[in-house]
Amino acid sequence: MDEQAYKELKKGGFMRQKQEEKFSLRLRVVGGQLKAGQIAKISEIADKYGQGYVHMTSRQGIEIPFIDFKDINTVKAELAEVGLQPGACGPRVRTITACQGNGICLSGLIETSILAKELDAKYFAKDLPHKFKIGITGCRNNCLKAEENDIGIKGGILPEWEEENCTYCGVCEAVCPADCIRVNQETQELEFEKDKCVYCGKCIKSCPMDNWTGASGYITSFGGLFGNTITTGESLIPLITEKETLFQVIDTAIDFFKEYGRQGERFRFTIDRIGIDKLKEKIEEVIS
Protein backbone atom coordinates (compact mmCIF):
# COMPACT_ATOMS: atom_id res chain seq x y z
CA MET A 1 0.00 0.00 0.00
CA ASP A 2 1.42 3.38 -0.97
CA GLU A 3 1.66 6.17 1.59
CA GLN A 4 -1.09 8.31 0.03
CA ALA A 5 -3.57 5.43 0.17
CA TYR A 6 -2.71 4.86 3.83
CA LYS A 7 -3.16 8.56 4.61
CA GLU A 8 -6.71 8.36 3.26
CA LEU A 9 -7.44 5.29 5.40
CA LYS A 10 -5.96 6.97 8.47
CA LYS A 11 -8.01 10.08 7.80
CA GLY A 12 -11.06 7.81 7.96
CA GLY A 13 -10.14 6.21 11.27
CA PHE A 14 -8.22 3.11 10.15
CA MET A 15 -4.75 2.96 11.69
CA ARG A 16 -2.14 0.60 10.31
CA GLN A 17 -0.91 -2.05 12.74
CA LYS A 18 2.52 -3.66 12.89
CA GLN A 19 0.90 -6.82 11.53
CA GLU A 20 0.78 -6.80 7.73
CA GLU A 21 -2.57 -5.84 6.14
CA LYS A 22 -4.14 -5.36 9.60
CA PHE A 23 -5.82 -2.16 10.80
CA SER A 24 -7.19 -0.89 14.09
CA LEU A 25 -10.50 0.92 13.53
CA ARG A 26 -11.13 3.98 15.68
CA LEU A 27 -14.84 4.73 16.10
CA ARG A 28 -16.49 8.13 16.29
CA VAL A 29 -17.87 8.17 19.85
CA VAL A 30 -19.21 11.69 20.44
CA GLY A 31 -19.20 12.83 24.05
CA GLY A 32 -18.48 9.29 25.24
CA GLN A 33 -22.02 8.06 24.50
CA LEU A 34 -23.11 4.92 22.65
CA LYS A 35 -26.53 3.29 22.36
CA ALA A 36 -26.98 -0.29 23.55
CA GLY A 37 -27.61 -1.51 20.01
CA GLN A 38 -24.42 0.15 18.82
CA ILE A 39 -22.42 -1.58 21.52
CA ALA A 40 -23.90 -4.92 20.42
CA LYS A 41 -22.89 -4.23 16.81
CA ILE A 42 -19.35 -3.30 17.88
CA SER A 43 -19.11 -6.60 19.75
CA GLU A 44 -20.39 -8.47 16.70
CA ILE A 45 -17.86 -6.80 14.41
CA ALA A 46 -15.00 -7.45 16.83
CA ASP A 47 -15.92 -11.15 16.89
CA LYS A 48 -16.50 -11.43 13.14
CA TYR A 49 -13.71 -9.28 11.70
CA GLY A 50 -11.27 -8.75 14.58
CA GLN A 51 -10.00 -10.89 17.41
CA GLY A 52 -13.01 -10.68 19.70
CA TYR A 53 -12.01 -7.67 21.79
CA VAL A 54 -11.99 -3.86 21.66
CA HIS A 55 -9.62 -1.26 23.06
CA MET A 56 -10.92 1.68 25.11
CA THR A 57 -8.82 4.78 24.41
CA SER A 58 -7.94 7.55 26.85
CA ARG A 59 -10.31 9.92 25.02
CA GLN A 60 -13.55 7.93 25.36
CA GLY A 61 -12.96 6.19 22.07
CA ILE A 62 -13.33 2.56 21.05
CA GLU A 63 -10.94 0.85 18.69
CA ILE A 64 -11.44 -2.54 17.03
CA PRO A 65 -8.03 -4.05 16.25
CA PHE A 66 -7.07 -6.66 13.64
CA ILE A 67 -9.43 -5.60 10.84
CA ASP A 68 -8.22 -7.04 7.51
CA PHE A 69 -7.67 -4.54 4.71
CA LYS A 70 -10.08 -6.51 2.50
CA ASP A 71 -12.87 -6.17 5.11
CA ILE A 72 -12.68 -2.39 5.63
CA ASN A 73 -15.57 -1.41 3.36
CA THR A 74 -17.76 -4.21 4.72
CA VAL A 75 -17.07 -3.16 8.29
CA LYS A 76 -17.91 0.48 7.48
CA ALA A 77 -21.21 -0.62 5.91
CA GLU A 78 -22.17 -2.73 8.93
CA LEU A 79 -21.34 0.11 11.32
CA ALA A 80 -23.54 2.45 9.30
CA GLU A 81 -26.51 0.12 9.89
CA VAL A 82 -26.58 1.29 13.53
CA GLY A 83 -25.51 4.88 12.91
CA LEU A 84 -21.83 4.41 13.69
CA GLN A 85 -18.96 5.92 11.75
CA PRO A 86 -15.18 5.65 11.89
CA GLY A 87 -13.41 8.38 13.81
CA ALA A 88 -10.69 10.73 12.61
CA CYS A 89 -6.93 10.48 12.79
CA GLY A 90 -4.16 12.66 11.43
CA PRO A 91 -4.06 16.49 11.17
CA ARG A 92 -7.68 17.38 11.80
CA VAL A 93 -10.26 17.99 14.54
CA ARG A 94 -10.76 14.79 16.51
CA THR A 95 -13.93 13.42 18.10
CA ILE A 96 -15.28 15.66 20.88
CA THR A 97 -15.03 14.28 24.42
CA ALA A 98 -17.41 15.18 27.25
CA CYS A 99 -18.48 14.18 30.74
CA GLN A 100 -22.18 13.63 31.53
CA GLY A 101 -22.77 17.22 32.62
CA ASN A 102 -25.77 18.56 34.50
CA GLY A 103 -28.16 16.13 32.81
CA ILE A 104 -26.82 13.39 35.09
CA CYS A 105 -24.22 14.74 37.50
CA LEU A 106 -25.16 16.66 40.65
CA SER A 107 -22.02 18.77 40.28
CA GLY A 108 -22.64 19.64 36.63
CA LEU A 109 -23.04 23.33 35.83
CA ILE A 110 -23.62 23.03 32.08
CA GLU A 111 -25.24 20.62 29.64
CA THR A 112 -22.47 18.71 27.87
CA SER A 113 -23.96 15.95 25.69
CA ILE A 114 -25.89 18.17 23.29
CA LEU A 115 -22.99 20.63 23.19
CA ALA A 116 -20.60 17.80 22.25
CA LYS A 117 -22.89 16.75 19.39
CA GLU A 118 -23.18 20.36 18.16
CA LEU A 119 -19.42 20.86 18.24
CA ASP A 120 -18.86 17.52 16.53
CA ALA A 121 -21.33 18.37 13.77
CA LYS A 122 -19.54 21.64 13.05
CA TYR A 123 -15.87 20.80 13.51
CA PHE A 124 -15.30 17.02 13.29
CA ALA A 125 -12.54 16.04 10.83
CA LYS A 126 -11.89 19.66 9.84
CA ASP A 127 -8.42 19.71 8.27
CA LEU A 128 -5.82 21.67 10.24
CA PRO A 129 -2.00 21.83 10.45
CA HIS A 130 -2.01 19.13 13.15
CA LYS A 131 -4.44 17.11 15.25
CA PHE A 132 -6.79 19.27 17.29
CA LYS A 133 -8.69 18.12 20.38
CA ILE A 134 -11.72 19.67 22.08
CA GLY A 135 -12.90 18.44 25.47
CA ILE A 136 -15.89 19.45 27.60
CA THR A 137 -16.21 19.04 31.35
CA GLY A 138 -19.31 20.03 33.28
CA CYS A 139 -17.78 21.74 36.31
CA ARG A 140 -14.55 22.62 38.06
CA ASN A 141 -14.16 19.03 39.30
CA ASN A 142 -12.73 18.73 35.78
CA CYS A 143 -13.29 15.01 35.23
CA LEU A 144 -12.48 15.43 31.51
CA LYS A 145 -9.32 17.46 32.25
CA ALA A 146 -10.27 20.32 29.96
CA GLU A 147 -6.84 21.99 30.03
CA GLU A 148 -5.22 18.97 28.36
CA ASN A 149 -7.04 19.84 25.13
CA ASP A 150 -6.22 22.29 22.37
CA ILE A 151 -9.51 23.91 23.38
CA GLY A 152 -10.97 23.03 26.75
CA ILE A 153 -14.51 23.91 27.82
CA LYS A 154 -15.48 23.79 31.48
CA GLY A 155 -18.78 24.55 33.14
CA GLY A 156 -18.84 27.54 35.45
CA ILE A 157 -21.20 30.00 37.04
CA LEU A 158 -20.75 33.69 37.92
CA PRO A 159 -22.46 34.31 41.27
CA GLU A 160 -24.64 37.27 42.14
CA TRP A 161 -25.48 38.08 45.73
CA GLU A 162 -28.90 39.39 46.79
CA GLU A 163 -28.90 41.15 50.14
CA GLU A 164 -32.57 40.65 51.02
CA ASN A 165 -33.12 37.92 53.66
CA CYS A 166 -29.37 37.24 53.99
CA THR A 167 -28.54 36.14 57.54
CA TYR A 168 -24.79 36.68 57.09
CA CYS A 169 -24.19 33.17 58.38
CA GLY A 170 -20.81 32.95 56.65
CA VAL A 171 -21.34 29.60 54.91
CA CYS A 172 -20.53 31.11 51.50
CA GLU A 173 -17.25 32.48 52.82
CA ALA A 174 -16.37 29.11 54.35
CA VAL A 175 -16.86 27.14 51.10
CA CYS A 176 -15.29 29.65 48.69
CA PRO A 177 -12.01 28.18 47.37
CA ALA A 178 -10.82 31.52 45.99
CA ASP A 179 -11.24 33.51 49.20
CA CYS A 180 -13.23 36.15 47.35
CA ILE A 181 -16.17 36.36 49.79
CA ARG A 182 -15.89 38.02 53.19
CA VAL A 183 -18.77 38.14 55.65
CA ASN A 184 -18.89 40.35 58.76
CA GLN A 185 -21.65 39.03 60.98
CA GLU A 186 -21.35 41.85 63.49
CA THR A 187 -21.80 44.67 60.96
CA GLN A 188 -24.07 42.64 58.65
CA GLU A 189 -21.84 43.24 55.63
CA LEU A 190 -20.73 41.05 52.75
CA GLU A 191 -17.90 41.74 50.30
CA PHE A 192 -17.59 39.83 47.02
CA GLU A 193 -14.52 40.29 44.80
CA LYS A 194 -15.80 39.19 41.39
CA ASP A 195 -12.40 39.47 39.78
CA LYS A 196 -11.08 36.66 41.99
CA CYS A 197 -14.05 34.32 41.43
CA VAL A 198 -13.23 30.93 39.87
CA TYR A 199 -16.88 30.30 38.84
CA CYS A 200 -17.25 27.11 40.89
CA GLY A 201 -20.77 27.93 42.16
CA LYS A 202 -20.16 26.55 45.66
CA CYS A 203 -21.57 29.68 47.28
CA ILE A 204 -24.81 29.22 45.33
CA LYS A 205 -25.20 25.55 46.21
CA SER A 206 -24.37 26.02 49.89
CA CYS A 207 -26.44 29.12 50.73
CA PRO A 208 -29.29 28.10 53.11
CA MET A 209 -31.30 31.22 52.21
CA ASP A 210 -30.83 31.10 48.41
CA ASN A 211 -29.27 34.57 48.44
CA TRP A 212 -26.72 33.58 45.81
CA THR A 213 -27.82 33.13 42.21
CA GLY A 214 -26.06 33.28 38.87
CA ALA A 215 -25.95 32.41 35.19
CA SER A 216 -24.01 29.32 34.15
CA GLY A 217 -21.55 29.46 31.28
CA TYR A 218 -18.31 28.25 29.77
CA ILE A 219 -14.74 28.60 31.02
CA THR A 220 -12.41 28.20 28.05
CA SER A 221 -8.73 27.28 27.83
CA PHE A 222 -6.37 27.23 24.86
CA GLY A 223 -3.24 25.35 23.89
CA GLY A 224 -3.25 22.33 26.18
CA LEU A 225 -0.93 19.41 25.42
CA PHE A 226 -0.50 16.02 27.07
CA GLY A 227 1.94 14.10 24.90
CA ASN A 228 5.67 14.41 24.38
CA THR A 229 5.29 17.93 25.75
CA ILE A 230 2.94 18.56 28.66
CA THR A 231 1.43 22.04 28.83
CA THR A 232 -1.67 23.29 30.60
CA GLY A 233 -4.14 25.20 28.43
CA GLU A 234 -4.48 28.86 29.35
CA SER A 235 -7.68 30.73 30.14
CA LEU A 236 -7.60 34.03 28.26
CA ILE A 237 -11.09 35.45 28.70
CA PRO A 238 -13.83 35.64 31.36
CA LEU A 239 -16.73 33.21 31.63
CA ILE A 240 -18.83 33.02 28.45
CA THR A 241 -22.57 32.86 29.15
CA GLU A 242 -23.92 32.49 25.59
CA LYS A 243 -23.45 29.37 23.46
CA GLU A 244 -23.36 31.47 20.30
CA THR A 245 -20.40 33.41 21.69
CA LEU A 246 -18.67 30.14 22.61
CA PHE A 247 -18.87 29.00 18.99
CA GLN A 248 -17.52 32.36 17.80
CA VAL A 249 -14.56 31.96 20.14
CA ILE A 250 -13.86 28.43 18.89
CA ASP A 251 -14.15 29.62 15.28
CA THR A 252 -11.61 32.34 16.02
CA ALA A 253 -9.13 29.95 17.66
CA ILE A 254 -9.38 27.45 14.81
CA ASP A 255 -9.03 30.21 12.19
CA PHE A 256 -5.94 31.44 14.07
CA PHE A 257 -4.44 27.95 13.84
CA LYS A 258 -5.29 27.66 10.14
CA GLU A 259 -3.77 31.07 9.39
CA TYR A 260 -0.57 30.85 11.44
CA GLY A 261 0.02 27.15 12.06
CA ARG A 262 2.74 25.29 10.22
CA GLN A 263 2.15 21.78 8.93
CA GLY A 264 3.00 19.32 11.69
CA GLU A 265 2.91 21.98 14.42
CA ARG A 266 0.54 21.63 17.38
CA PHE A 267 -1.70 24.56 18.31
CA ARG A 268 0.32 25.22 21.49
CA PHE A 269 3.51 25.71 19.53
CA THR A 270 1.76 28.02 17.08
CA ILE A 271 0.54 30.11 20.03
CA ASP A 272 4.05 30.23 21.50
CA ARG A 273 5.61 31.20 18.18
CA ILE A 274 3.07 33.88 17.19
CA GLY A 275 2.35 35.07 20.72
CA ILE A 276 -0.51 34.34 23.08
CA ASP A 277 -1.36 38.04 23.21
CA LYS A 278 -2.14 37.89 19.47
CA LEU A 279 -4.60 35.03 20.02
CA LYS A 280 -6.15 36.82 22.99
CA GLU A 281 -6.56 39.98 20.93
CA LYS A 282 -8.40 38.13 18.18
CA ILE A 283 -10.68 36.34 20.65
CA GLU A 284 -11.49 39.54 22.53
CA GLU A 285 -12.60 41.12 19.25
CA VAL A 286 -15.49 38.63 18.97
CA ILE A 287 -16.61 38.87 22.59
CA SER A 288 -16.44 42.65 22.98
Lowest mean pLDDT among 6-20, 149-163, 201-215: 6-20
Class of domain 97-156+216-287: alpha beta
- The SS3 of residue 220 is strand
- Residue-wise pLDDT for 137-176, tens only, equals 999 999 999 999 999 999 999 999 999 999 999 999 999 9
- Size of the chain in residues: 288
Average pLDDT over residues 48-52: 98
Ranges for all domains in the chain classified under CATH 3.30.70.3340: 3-80
pLDDT for 11? 85
pLDDT for 3? 73
pLDDT for 39? 98
Burial of 71: CB neighbours in 10 Å, binned 0-12, 13-18, 19+ = middle
pLDDT for 249? 98
Ranges for all domains in the chain classified under CATH 3.30.413.10: 97-156+216-287
CATH code linked to domain 157-215:
3.30.70.20
Q: At the topology level of CATH, where does 3-80 sit?
A: Alpha-Beta Plaits (3.30.70)
Query: What angle, rounded to 10 degrees, do the helices at 72-80 and 36-49 form?
Result: 160
Which amino acid, residue 198?
V
- Residue-wise pLDDT for 73-99, tens only, equals 999 999 999 999 999 999 999 999 999
pLDDT for 1? 63
H runs (alpha helix) in 166-262: 171-175, 202-206, 243-260
pLDDT for 5? 76
pLDDT band at 114 (very low <50, low <70, confident <90, very high): very high
Average pLDDT over residues 269-282: 98
pLDDT band at 2 (very low <50, low <70, confident <90, very high): low
